[in-house]
Structure formats: C-alpha cells, structure tokens
Structure 1
Amino acid sequence: MERLPTTPHDAVFRQMLMQKEVARDFLAIHLPEDFLAICDLDSLKLESGSFVEDNLRSRYSDILYSLHTQHGPGYVYALIEHQSKSDRLMAFRLMRYAIAAMQRHLDAGHDTLPLVVPILFYHGPESPWPYSLNWHNMFVKPDMAKALYSHEFALVDLTTMPDNQLLQHRRIAMLELLQKHIRQRDLSELLDPLSRF
C-alpha cells in the first residue's frame, strides 16, 4: 500500500507534479538541456515511486516519470525529489533512487540501462542549498571516487593469464590456478606446481 505524504507541503507537491501537464512544464523548464534535447515530452508517463526502500527516506514525496527518446528506442527517467530541509547525504540518496529506478527498468524486461535524471525540488530555510549534489564529493577522496566510479571496474580474468604468471602470485596462486582449471577433468598436471605451496 502506498504511503500518504507526511506534510501538507508533500501533499501539494505530489498532487501538482502527478498531473502530466504540470510535470511536462516543470521538465521543459528544469530538465538539463542535453537531456531535454533527446526527450519526447509527449511520451511522459508517471511511474510508481514505491521502489524506494522505506528506510531511505522519512516521507513519500518523490515523483518518477519515464520518457521515450526522440531518436529511437530508449528511455529517460526523471526523478523529482521534494525536500523542505537540507540533507548532507542527498546526493547519495538520489543516486540510490536512480539505481533503484534502473533496476526496476531491467526487471521489466529491458536489456539496457535507462538514463535517470535526478532533480531536487528544494524550498528549505537554508538558502542556497548548502551541500554538493555530486555524489563523488561525499567521499573522503572525491577525485579517486570519480575515477573509480567513472571508469571500468578492476577485472581479474584468469582465463587470459598464463599459469607461470599465476605461480608468481604468492599465497593466492593456488586458488587462482585451481579456479582457472576447475573445469578440467584431470587436475594432476597442477599437482607439481601446486606442491610448492
């Protein structure tokens, strides 16, 4: 069962932004230009926001719309989060919501990830919004976080490594060799190299 908004501000926000025409105007004004250029605003469709885990927020106030792109198949989601007070962890919360929307998209049978554009709708007492909305800036080492989460992840591909290279890997060599050759019926050839450990 869907939770009701917890404040009058939340109720007004949801009531207004759940109207397609209002949401269309909002997105036409506030969606980043690069995304607006590829979105077909006529395809705007309100999606359920219930994917958000209960322990991630204190109120039910986010709005999620899906849009088709103008250039063939593809989806863009606009996630609009209402906030009446500042939250130091908001960038991380928005990232969690965006990933949850991506997971729901995959669960619906799609085989590529959609672009999810989080937009924070803020009207709190502190002005301007006091915290970074780039989630990389929440890390102790923002530059390292950006490099880590903007590039391919580390890969240990045993299938491409020669055995003599694996034998140089000290205490982990035994595990790597066994895992590399686990599908061989006869592992007796590994006994000699492994006997060194």
Structure 2
Amino acid sequence: MAKEKTKDNIFRKLFSDKDLFKMFLDDFIDRDWVFEIDKDDIEVLPTEYIDLIGANRENDIVYKIKLDDEEAFVFIMLEHQSKTDFLMPFRLLEYMTRLWRVYIDENADESENKPFKLPPILPIVFYDGKGNWTAEIEFKDKVKHYESFKQHIPNFSYKPIVLNSITIEELIEKGNAISLILAMDKIKTVEDLKVIKQLKEEYWEALKESLKHSNILENVALAIKHLLLKVNVPEDEIEEVLKVFKEGKVRDMFQMIEEYDVQKVRSEEREKAKKERDIEIAQKMLRKGIGVPDIIDITGLDKEKIEEIKKEIEQ
C-alpha cells in the first residue's frame, strides 16, 4: 500500500507539470485543438477544486484550458489499482456534472442568460494497473435498454489510456520526457532496460531537448528514483545515478542501472548455486551417519532444513 501511495504521489506530481502534461496530450490525444494550445493556455486547478467536485481523490487532476478564448476542462483520473473499476462511466458522469455545477456557480449572473453555454470536458482515465482495462468506454453501454430510451439518457465516452497495452518501443518512439517516464514505469527486467539502452543517438538528442526545463528535469528525476528502487539499485548509490542523469548523460545512466540489475541477478544465482551445493553436501554427510550439529557447522543450513533433507533420504 505504501508503494502504491508513493506511486500515486509521483504520478500526480508529474501530471501536474504543465510541460509534461502538454507532451502527454500531444502523444495520446489525437485532436486538432491539442496542437493549437501551448503550456501558457493550461492552468492546473488546485487540489481544493477536486474537493469541490466531490472526487476526494488526491491523485485526480483537473486542468482548465484556454481554447479560442473560451474555457475547456480536462479531468484525469489516475488509476493504479489492479482491478478495473466497472462503475467508471458513472463516476465520471458524476464528476463532470459537479464540475459544471461549480462552473455555473462561478458564473452565476451569466448562467441565467440564454447565450450561456457549459464548457467542454475531456475525461481521461490513465490506467497503469495489471491486465487490460475492460470497463465500458461509452456511458450508454452501462444503461439497460439504452436503445429504447436513448433520447432521454445522456451519453459520452471517456479516453482510456492503458499503459499495459502500449509497448516500451511505442513509448520511446515519441522521444520526449513523458514517454521516457511511462516507459520506465513498464520496466520489469534487464531485457527491458536493454531496449532503452540500445536506442539511436537521435532519441537521446530529442530527449535532451525535452528535458531542458529544470522543473521537468526534477520531476523526471523523481520518477527515475522510483525506477531505481524497483530495479535493485542500492539506495546509497541512487544519488550518483541521478547526478549522471542531471548532467544530461541519460544513456550512461541506463548503462549504470543495467549493471546494478545484472549484479543483483548474478548474486542471486550464486546464492542459489551455493545453497544447492550445501544441500548436496548435507545429503552425503547424512548418508555417512554424520550428526546434524556437524552438518550445520559445515554447510550453514539450519536444523529444520537438514531434518527435511533427512526425511527425503529415508523415504
């Protein structure tokens, strides 16, 4: 639970960075208006705003976007839990309605006039849990007999972004800081690290350009620290790796991470081989009638393990 809480905080911090959020929109929201806005058109609404619409979730984010001098909202739900939330269409409808309610209250005088219109809302669910996201995407699919009542029932669809369905290769093709962060979140093995380490020089140059802003650099460093803890880098050496990253030597950093993980794997393999040898020695000593205390002294195995080996031999 503590790890998930840490991850929630990291992703909320990352998605609250306007530069990273703009990269996220560019990469995953295929709409013309996305490319017409820049970070100055984006405002991250405070946590108190989340409370106003009743979400009560620290890892949800609301953005206000200026679109042709009009307001629009982007509501992101960050889902890290392992199970799909099948009530998601309804929950999003609730939050969208409350968001509009707040907007109406903030524009009370104008809202009473006929020309008044509600701002558009883009609901996004970013899911990086295990497995696929199998909840309905369109609200109508959550309502019984929708076809018979469709004139009287609201309908909308949200944008699901399911990290598990996007490959590391697809992410790194985008060549920016947010794609690197998401790729790192998917890294589970040394082989995954090799995919990143073997990227062409063009990728690293594009990434350096993407990391020019110091706030992005610090936020990406936070995500990297989370990765380092995940892939067995000793805590006392994490700062050294981050220093290399902040110097712009991103490729060198991945080389260091891979070496740490390989060392861990080799250490585990050596430990496993040693244990197997100790068991073989214990078996031979038991067959020769040597006492348990002497076997413990020579092999380092505990009494319970030796008794277990003894029973296997007797059978």
TM range (shorter): 0.5 to 0.7
Taking only aligned residues, the RMSD between alpha carbons, in angstroms, comes to 2.4
Please list every run of 5 or more consecutive structure 1 residues that lacks an aligned counterpart in the other structure.
1-5, 152-197
Q: Confirm whether residue 136 of structure 1 aligns to residue 140 of structure 2.
A: yes
Structure with more strand by fraction: 1
Is the 8 Å Cα contact of residues 136 and 145 (structure 1) preserved in structure 2? no
- Sequence identity, in percent? 22
Is the 8 Å Cα contact of residues 40 and 67 (structure 1) preserved in structure 2? no
Calculate the TM-score normalised by the size of structure 2. Answer: 0.40
Q: Distance in 2 between matches of 1:65 and 1:133?
A: 21
Give the Å deviation of 1:32: 4.3
Structure-to-structure mapping, 1:37-52, within 5 angstroms: 39=37, 41-47=39-45, 48-52=49-53
Calculate the TM-score normalised by the size of structure 1. Answer: 0.62
Q: Confirm whether residue 84 of structure 1 aligns to residue 105 of structure 2.
A: no
Q: Distance in 2 between matches of 1:95 and 1:35?
A: 23
**Greater CA radius of gyration, 1 or 2?**
2
Q: Confirm whether residue 124 of structure 1 aligns to residue 129 of structure 2.
A: yes
Structure-to-structure mapping, 1:43-122, within 5 angstroms: 43-47=41-45, 48-53=49-54, 59-70=57-68, 73-85=69-81, 86-109=84-107, 111=111, 112-122=117-127
Structure with more helix by fraction: 2
Is the 8 Å Cα contact of residues 91 and 132 (structure 1) preserved in structure 2? yes
Q: Which fold has the larger relative contact order, with Cα–Cα distance below 8 Å and residues 6 or more apart in sequence?
A: 1
Change (3 A) 1:95 1:75: same
Q: Distance in 2 between matches of 1:39 and 1:149?
A: 33
Q: Residue by residue, what CA displacement relative to the aligned partner does 1:20-63 show, whole Å, maximum 9, x if unpaired?
A: 1111111222234155266565310011322232xx66x42110
Give the Å deviation of 1:9: 2.0
Give the Å deviation of 1:87: 0.4
| One-letter amino acid of the counterpart of residue 119, structure 1 | I
Change (3 A) 1:139 1:122: same
Other-structure match for 2:6: 8
